[in-house]
Structure 1
């Protein structure tokens, strides 16, 4: 069992992926808010979330916040009005919220942006060892 909240395994796409596909097909939300695709991992004692957000200014267009155990990433990509052809780029608001794993230190979150990738890193305390075995006593 993975402690990674956003990690998905298997052949069936998760709900977020399905919603993202439907939104691009015109069947999703009409609010202009799009889901951010993320990947996450545990690296060197840190929970790392990476979001692909090319074409934004991280100082003005990206917000990272933590409330309780929820890490939220919001971004805004403004459309540049060029009517010289077709565009499949996605513009508007982008949003993703993931639950931090047990032991995450929400007071020590770090975020960086490079080459269109936002990386958010949170220290995670090492979890306790495997479950403790309890001896079952019999009464005769």
Structure 2
């Protein structure tokens, strides 16, 4: 299964890839939308310290969000003592629609919600454009040279 995923590369969406790899437990669930030329990514991550538990990095046209979470509860009564730990690392990679400068990205944490704002153009340069098709020889080649392909005998 992993060889199939490696061959497919980035053509597989992250949720589906994580499902196939059995890695849904460490997947950071996000809300993603556009607002006035800004891409907004929100993740509900209560009980963290954003200064030490959150890493946000920009790699090419992808935003990587990593969150570490540790929660400890204790209960003491006449019959004994009980403590429970919940912890884990959660991550998410978000494909950005256009190149951005990391200096323009803003992140905030308020009431358990991590919010990342990325300014992106409304019509990114990566938008689809129609390519005209010329009739005749491919690419306007004259039929000579190595790019013309192998010679045929008649």
For the aligned pair, the TM-score class normalised by the smaller chain equals: 0.5 to 0.7
Judging changes above 3 Å, is the alpha-carbon distance between structure 1 residues 135 and 63 closer, same or farther for their aligned structure 2 residues?
closer
Which one has a larger percent helix, Structure 1 or Structure 2?
A: 2
In structure 1, distance between residues paired with 2:68 and 2:128 = 43
Which one has a larger percent strand, Structure 1 or Structure 2?
A: 2
**Number of aligned residue pairs:** 115
In structure 1, distance between residues paired with 2:102 and 2:122 = 15
In structure 2, distance between residues paired with 1:93 and 1:61 = 9
In structure 1, distance between residues paired with 2:103 and 2:117 = 11
In structure 2, distance between residues paired with 1:72 and 1:106 = 12
Listed as ranges, the matches of 1:40-119 within 5 Å are: 40-80=32-72, 82=74, 91-119=87-115
- The answer on 1:15 being equivalent to 2:16 is yes
Larger Rg: 2
In structure 2, distance between residues paired with 1:111 and 1:62 = 10
In structure 2, distance between residues paired with 1:71 and 1:133 = 30
Answer whether contact 1:79 1:92 (CA < 8 A) is retained: no
> TM-score, normalization: structure 1?
0.63
> TM-score, normalization: structure 2?
0.58
Query: SS of 2:26's equivalent?
Result: strand
**Structure 1 segments unaligned to the other structure (5+ residues):** 1-7, 9-13, 23-27
Judging changes above 3 Å, is the alpha-carbon distance between structure 1 residues 61 and 80 closer, same or farther for their aligned structure 2 residues?
same
